[in-house]
Chain A
Amino acid sequence: MAYNLKQEMNKRERFYPGHRLCAGCGAGIVCRAMMRAVDPEDRAVICNATGCLEVSSFQYPYTAWEDSYIHTAFENASATASGVEAALNVMKRRGRLPKDEEVKILAIGGDGGTYDIGFQSLSGAFERGHDFTYFCYDNNAYMNTGTQRSSATPRFASATTTPAGAESVGKKQEQKDLTQIMVAHGSSYVAQTTLFGTMKDFHEKAHRAIYTKGPTFVNVLTPCPRGWQYPEEDLVEICKAAIDTCVWPVYEVVEGEYRLTYEPKKKLPVEEFMRRQGRFSHCFKPGNEWTIAKAQEYVDKKWEELLAKCR
Chain B
Amino acid sequence: MSIRERMSGNEAVATALRQIDPDVFAMFPITPSTEIPQYFAQYVADGRVETEFICVESEHSSLSACIGAEAAGCRAVTATSSAGLSFMNEVLYVAASLRLPVVLAVSCRALTGPININHDYSDSMAERDSGFIQLYAENNQEVYDNLLMAHRIAEHSSVRLPLMICQDGFITSHAIENIELEEDEEVKKFVGEYHPENYLLKKENPLAVGPYGISAYYMEARVAQAEAMKRAKQVILEVAEDFRKTFGREYGFFECYRMEDADVALVIMGSSAGTAKVAADALREEGIRAGVVKIRAFRPFPGPELCEVLKNCKAAAVMDKSEGFSACGGPLFAETSGALINAESRPKLIDVVYGLGGRDFTVESASEVFKRLCGIAKGAEIGPVYSHLGVRSL
Q: Are B208 and A84 in contact (CB under 8 A)?
A: no
Q: Are B61 and A68 in contact (CB under 8 A)?
A: no
Residue from the list B56, B91, B206 in contact with A82, Cβ < 8 A: B56
Residue from the list B65, B211, B212 in contact with A86, Cβ < 8 A: B65
Chain A residues near B208: list those with CB within 8 A: 58, 63, 65, 68-70
**Measured between C-beta atoms, what is the minimum distance from A93 to chain B in Å?**
6
CA distance A209 to B278 in the complex (A): 65
Contact with B along A69-103 (1 / 0, CB 8 A): 11111011011111110111111011011000101
Chain A residues near B98: list those with CB within 8 A: 72
B200 at the A interface (CB under 8 A)? yes
CA distance A91 to B70 in the complex (A): 12
Chain A residues near B94: list those with CB within 8 A: 72-73
Q: Are B69 and A83 in contact (CB under 8 A)?
A: yes
> Which chain B residues numbered 336 to 351 have a C-beta less than 8 Å away from chain A?
none
Q: Are B66 and A83 in contact (CB under 8 A)?
A: yes
Chain B residues near A120: list those with CB within 8 A: 57-58, 61
Given contacts A68-B207, A120-B57, contact A83 B212 (CB under 8 A): no
Q: Are B72 and A83 in contact (CB under 8 A)?
A: yes
Contact with B along A5-43 (1 / 0, CB 8 A): 000000000000000000000000000000000000001
A288 at the B interface (CB under 8 A)? no
A272 at the B interface (CB under 8 A)? no
B229 at the A interface (CB under 8 A)? no
CA distance A61 to B24 in the complex (A): 30
Chain B residues near A285: list those with CB within 8 A: none
Q: Are B201 and A80 in contact (CB under 8 A)?
A: no
Q: Are B66 and A90 in contact (CB under 8 A)?
A: no
* Number of B residues, CB within 8 Å of A: 44
Chain A residues near B65: list those with CB within 8 A: 79-80, 82-83, 86
Residue from the list A55, A63, A79, A103 in contact with B56, Cβ < 8 A: A79
Contact with A along B15-53 (1 / 0, CB 8 A): 000000001101000000000000000000000001110
Q: Are A87 and B64 in contact (CB under 8 A)?
A: no
Chain A residues near B211: list those with CB within 8 A: 58-61, 63, 71
CA distance A128 to B202 in the complex (A): 25
Q: Are B210 and A89 in contact (CB under 8 A)?
A: no
Residue of A nearest to B205 (CB): A68
Given contacts A67-B206, A83-B76, A96-B73, contact A72 B64 (CB under 8 A): yes
A245 at the B interface (CB under 8 A)? no
A127 at the B interface (CB under 8 A)? yes
A160 at the B interface (CB under 8 A)? no
Q: Are A45 and B52 in contact (CB under 8 A)?
A: no
Q: Are A87 and B24 in contact (CB under 8 A)?
A: yes
Chain A residues near B54: list those with CB within 8 A: 82-83, 86, 128
Chain A residues near B90: list those with CB within 8 A: 73
B385 at the A interface (CB under 8 A)? no
CA distance A58 to B206 in the complex (A): 14
Chain A residues near B252: list those with CB within 8 A: none
Residue of B nearest to A43 (CB): B203
Chain A residues near B67: list those with CB within 8 A: 72, 80, 83
B74 at the A interface (CB under 8 A)? yes
Q: Are B50 and A91 in contact (CB under 8 A)?
A: no
Instruction: List, sorted by A's number, 5 A–B pairs whose CB atoms are closer than 8 Å.
Output: A58-B211, A83-B24, A83-B70, A87-B72, A90-B23
Instruction: Please name 13 further chain A to chain B contacts, defined as beta carbons within 8 Å, in addition to the given A63-B211, A87-B201, A88-B201, sorted by A numbering.
Output: A68-B209, A70-B210, A83-B68, A83-B70, A83-B76, A84-B201, A86-B24, A87-B52, A87-B200, A90-B23, A90-B24, A97-B203, A124-B57
Closest 7 CB pairs of A and B: A83-B68, A124-B57, A87-B72, A83-B65, A79-B61, A79-B64, A71-B210
Q: Which B residues lie at the A interface, using CB under 8 A? A: 23-24, 26, 50-52, 54-58, 60-62, 64-74, 76, 90-91, 94, 98, 200-203, 206-214, 217
